[in-house]
Amino acid sequence: MVHEELPKEHEDPLIRILHGVIRNSVRLLAVLMVLVILWSVADVVYVIYERLAVEPLWLLDPNDLFDVFGAFMLVLIAIEIFINIRLYLGSNVIPIQLVLATALMAIARKVIVLDLADTEALYIFAIAAAVLALGVAYWMVAKRV
* 93 in any annotated domain: yes
CA distances (Å), 66 to each of 23, 70, 118, in order? 38, 6, 15
pLDDT at 4: 59
Estimate to the nearest angstrom the gap between the alpha carbon of 68 and the chain centroid: 17
**Which of 47 and 4 is assigned the larger pLDDT?**
47
Q: What is the tally of structural domains in the chain?
A: 1
**pLDDT in the model for residue 114:** 86
Inside any domain, residue 45: yes
Q: Helix 13-52 and helix 62-91: axis angle, to 10°?
A: 160
Asked whether the predicted pLDDT for residue 3 surpasses 50, the reply is no
Give the mean model confidence (pLDDT) for residues 18-42.
Answer: 93
Give pLDDT, residue 1: 38
Q: What is the pLDDT of residues 68-119, one digit of tens each?
A: 888 898 999 999 999 988 887 777 677 888 899 999 999 988 888 888 888 9
65 located within any domain: yes
| 34-71 residue pLDDT tens | 999 999 999 999 989 988 998 888 888 888 888 888 88
Domain housing 108: 13-143
In a domain, 4, yes or no: no
